[in-house]
A and B are shown apart, each in its own frame.
Chain A
Amino acid sequence: MQTGNLLLLLIAIGAAVWYLGYRRSHAVAAPLGGIRHLHSLPSYYAMLAMIWCVLPALALLGMWLIIDDSIIRNSVISALPVAALPTDEVGYNLLMNKIQNVASGALAEDAVQPYVAIAAEHLNSLRRSNTQLLTLFFVCLSVLGGVWGWSRIQPQLRARQRVEKVIQFLLMLSALVAILTTVGIVFSVLFESIRFFGKVSPAEFLFGLEWSPQTALRADQVASSGAFGAVPLFAGTLLISAIALIIAVPVGLMSAIYLAEYAHPKFRAFAKPTLEILAGVPTVVYGFFAALTVAPFIRELGDSIGLSVASESALAAGLVMGVMIIPFVSSLSDDVITAVPNAMRDGSLALGATKSETIKQVIIPAALPGIMGGVLLAASRAIGETMIVVMAAGLAANLTANPLEAVTTITVQIVTLLVGDQEFDSAKTLAAFALGLMLFLTTLALNIIALRIVKKYREQYE
């Protein structure tokens, strides 16, 4: 039977076991005088029996599916005549492919060597018996588990605790999946980066001033040898993020102060969610807004006062990114400003301070750690932001501090390195992993610092 059908079957068996377990727990309870003499509610007994039925069978299925393929392959290969045995991995894979193609009928039997045809036959028969065996074991195990679980239903059985344990275990497993995925991604980026640093020295990557990642794909191709100095990318990223923060921090902070301290509650109730919508606008929308509206506008403005502005200026991308991250600053700042205890305001006002003196000298200093946290989160968002810069920032890796020129960023380069066909072990492709690692480390550090600051701030006003 196919795996899907096995699962359907398991659901059916499990449901039956649940029902029987439910019945049995009532039956066990009846002579004692009702279910209140059981340790747990009948549904817990039924659930426990069902767990006994389902979980071992699922575990068997999982394990079986992981190992059966390699066992079958090995047995097919070992049945080959010694002379036909492949010597290296490439040969092994080719042969295995051939056998599989013949077995599935994609390749005619008479087009291949006879020993391949025999092996294909062998493979097919092994697969058939494999499926039969799996079905047999699977069904037996689920039924046995169900019967075992069912027969264990006793008034003293602590079914509730056991079910809780199993549920806790399943929840932990889910959490583990998320964590392990993250760890896996980090390690894969790390290992690919290490491979990259085998081709390009870390010193060149970190301190080189030249970025032109074109390497020859084929030996006969005419191409430069490629330069992987990432400093222009770091500088471009910093420039655009700095412009964004110059916009976002004052605007965000002042709007937070207005919303938290001055605005009428009704206006605040309307304005705060509206501001937060800004954060929900898809970044691609910001991107084409930057590329199609803001960038031409800035260029015309520059032209009209006699400045030459690149059509993809850092300024345009930075401005739009700044608007995008305003909510990160304002929303968090607003939260921490409102969290400053009213006693603090009263204390200052009672000494004769005006409202703005109170805000400037007491509220902001008190809320400063939280505000810093918001700014750092916004900065990490700006550094990792991709869509806006892909659309509005340039590709040329200029090393400049002039916001009117085109610069490029880490994220833009990662995108350009990986768009199109790649060779997996060229320095060009691997460079994307190294850049990704840099990006990841920076934003990780910013996030950790920001969260620590915010947490410390929260503790202060517990």
Chain B
Amino acid sequence: METASSINDTSEAPSQKKTASDNTNSTVKVNATGSVPMNETNIEYPDKTVGFPLVDDPKMSMRDVNVFYGDKQAIFDVNLDVGKNEVIALIGPSGCGKSTFLRSLNRMNDTIDTCRVNGEFHLEGDNIYDPRLDVVELRARVGMVFQKPNPFPKSIYDNVAYGPRLHGLANKRYELDQIVESSLRKAGLWDEVKDRLHQPGTGLSGGQQQRLCIARTIAVSPEVVLMDEPCSALDPIATAKIEQLIDELSSQYTIAIVTHSMQQAARVSHRTAYFHLGRLIEVNDTRKVFTAPDHRLTEAYITGRFG
């Protein structure tokens, strides 16, 4: 599984080598190993992802990604590009490795002792897993919003100012004030909190907290924002606000969003990647995935045949 493939040539832009003609629906049966639990008998796994996992001039490109928790493999041979200013949705049944894959993009998996990540990860040509690369700087460029809103037990202002202070983005107090205000404005929260910036962020409603977390993330001006089911703990109105926000943010940022809501994926994303049991099954334009998916596993999922 870990054999180097021809597309993994770091000296050139890797995506150029891959053309659409490679992505035929060539499928093999992998029932033989027996280690993969099946939801249906005779499921066919493609040996390659179907659709168009690679793009020209990507923001991030991932090649031959394998992730292990101890001896257990959670991600198998994933190749994926994320385009500039694109919103890509990662969908799939729970436990299929969406979060694991997402967390490997800003090396959050480093915080889990048992977790081991193999493969090539590039952000605008910089190798993310290069030992010389400072993970602090990486995470400033690739921000993350989590499933449950997790504001720090500080004031709203200090929550947003946390990142800029860490990275020394403001020299003067008024510069910090400006960063805080513009981040809260971009997150659509400014009008709701401008009179109580110095009250605790934990006192906000769930949806406001999540927008605060988004403001906190964009306050360090990241290039990519990763979102792991950002609305799953929110009510429909708060969810709608966040979805609208994602739409607005996509003009400035590249966004990868994990969601278990297919309507949400359909509403906010440009491309959709379908994961199944640690494999990337299909990547296509969102409209295509939800109208005419190339793979029957994708179809089975979007028609509600597995949770």
Smallest beta-carbon distance A337→chain B, Å:
13
Residues of B within 8 A of A345 (CB): 111
Contact between B108 and A351, CB atoms less than 8 A apart: no
Contact between A343 and B148, CB atoms less than 8 A apart: yes
Q: Does A292 contact B (CB under 8 A)?
A: no
A346-376 interface with B by 8 A CB criterion: 346-354, 357, 361-362, 365-366
Distance between Cα atoms of A357 and B157 in the complex (Å) = 18
Q: Does A250 contact B (CB under 8 A)?
A: no
Annotate B102-117 by CB proximity to A: 1 below 8 A, 0 otherwise.
0000101001000000
Residues of B within 8 A of A357 (CB): 166
Distance between Cα atoms of A361 and B162 in the complex (Å) = 9
Q: Does B137 contact A (CB under 8 A)?
A: yes
Contact between B152 and A354, CB atoms less than 8 A apart: no
Distance between Cα atoms of A230 and B213 in the complex (Å) = 55
Q: Does A341 contact B (CB under 8 A)?
A: yes
Contact between A352 and B166, CB atoms less than 8 A apart: yes
Q: Does B100 contact A (CB under 8 A)?
A: no
Residues of A within 8 A of B236 (CB): none
Contact between B136 and A354, CB atoms less than 8 A apart: yes
Q: Does B61 contact A (CB under 8 A)?
A: no
Distance between Cα atoms of A352 and B167 in the complex (Å) = 8
Of chain B, the residue at the smallest CB distance from A344 is: B150
Contact between A351 and B150, CB atoms less than 8 A apart: no
Annotate B90-106 by CB proximity to A: 1 below 8 A, 0 otherwise.
00000000000000001
> With A351-B220, A352-B136 in contact, is A346–B153 under 8 Å at CB?
no
Q: Which of A347, A365, A460 contacts B150 (CB 8 A)?
A: A347
Contact between A349 and B139, CB atoms less than 8 A apart: yes
Contact between B152 and A362, CB atoms less than 8 A apart: yes
Q: Does B288 contact A (CB under 8 A)?
A: no
Of chain B, the residue at the smallest CB distance from A347 is: B150
Contact between A350 and B153, CB atoms less than 8 A apart: no
A330-349 interface with B by 8 A CB criterion: 341, 343-349
Interface size counted on chain A using CB atoms at 8 A: 19
Residues of A within 8 A of B162 (CB): 348, 351, 353, 361
Interface size counted on chain B using CB atoms at 8 A: 27
Smallest beta-carbon distance A237→chain B, Å:
34
Contact between B152 and A352, CB atoms less than 8 A apart: no
Residues of B within 8 A of A361 (CB): 152, 162
Q: Does B143 contact A (CB under 8 A)?
A: yes
> With A354-B136, A365-B154, A366-B153 in contact, is A346–B111 under 8 Å at CB?
yes
B145-161 interface with A by 8 A CB criterion: 146, 148, 150-154
Q: Which of A349, A366, A460 contacts B152 (CB 8 A)?
A: A366
> With A348-B162, A351-B217, A352-B139 in contact, is A365–B144 under 8 Å at CB?
no
Q: Does B216 contact A (CB under 8 A)?
A: yes
Contact between A352 and B146, CB atoms less than 8 A apart: no
Residues of A within 8 A of B139 (CB): 349-352
Residues of B within 8 A of A343 (CB): 146, 148, 150
Q: Does B163 contact A (CB under 8 A)?
A: yes
Contact between B163 and A346, CB atoms less than 8 A apart: no
Residues of B within 8 A of A352 (CB): 135-140, 163, 166-167, 220
Of chain B, the residue at the smallest CB distance from A350 is: B144
Smallest beta-carbon distance A355→chain B, Å:
9
A437-462 interface with B by 8 A CB criterion: 460
Residues of A within 8 A of B216 (CB): 347, 351
- From B151, B154, B166, residue with most partner A Cβ within 10 Å: B166
> With A351-B216, A351-B217, A352-B136 in contact, is A346–B167 under 8 Å at CB?
no
Contact between B153 and A341, CB atoms less than 8 A apart: no
Q: Can you list 24 A-B pairs, Cβ within 8 angstroms, ordered by A?
A: A341-B150, A343-B146, A344-B152, A346-B108, A346-B150, A347-B150, A347-B151, A347-B152, A347-B213, A348-B152, A349-B108, A349-B139, A351-B162, A351-B166, A352-B135, A352-B137, A352-B138, A352-B140, A352-B166, A352-B167, A353-B162, A353-B166, A361-B152, A460-B153
Q: What 9 pairs between A and B have smallest CB-CB spacing?
A: A343-B150, A350-B144, A352-B139, A351-B163, A347-B150, A352-B140, A352-B136, A366-B153, A362-B152
